[in-house]
């Protein structure tokens, strides 16, 4: 299952700079970043453990992964909020 990771908001200063609306796609072991864009490796490393869990599909009732997840960059000055959401697979 593909995941879309998007910058939702920034409550500080990001020196990368990541901008609201920036995104990338996680497709199994691949990360696809739009041309001319990038991803902060510090933010990426903080989110990587959740990718396999989110890619397994929705769980049973009450499974905490059934909703989109929000992660915050570990840089205390940046406070960049990333939303991780499952993408609908084409039929």
Residue 11 has pLDDT above 70, yes or no: yes
Tell me the whole-structure pTM to 2 decimals: 0.86
The pLDDT value recorded for residue 60 is 67
Question: How deeply is 60 buried, as exposed, middle or buried, from its count of CB atoms within 10 A (0-12, 13-18, 19+)?
Answer: exposed
Residue 90 has pLDDT above 90, yes or no: no
pLDDT in tens, 16-70: 889 999 999 999 889 999 999 999 888 999 999 989 888 887 666 777 777 778 8
The H or E element that residue 31 is part of is: strand 30-32
């Amino acid at each position: 299952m593909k995941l879309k990771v998007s910058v939702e908001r920034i409550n500080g200063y990001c020196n990368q700079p990541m901008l609201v609306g920036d995104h990338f796609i996680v497709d199994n072991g691949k990360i696809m970043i739009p041309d001319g864009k990038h991803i902060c490796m510090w933010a990426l490393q903080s989110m990587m453990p959740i990718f396999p869990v989110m890619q397994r599909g929705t769980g049973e009732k009450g499974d905490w992964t059934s909703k989109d997840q929000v992660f915050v960059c570990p840089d205390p000055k940046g406070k960049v909020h990333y939303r991780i959401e499952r993408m609908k697979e084409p039929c």
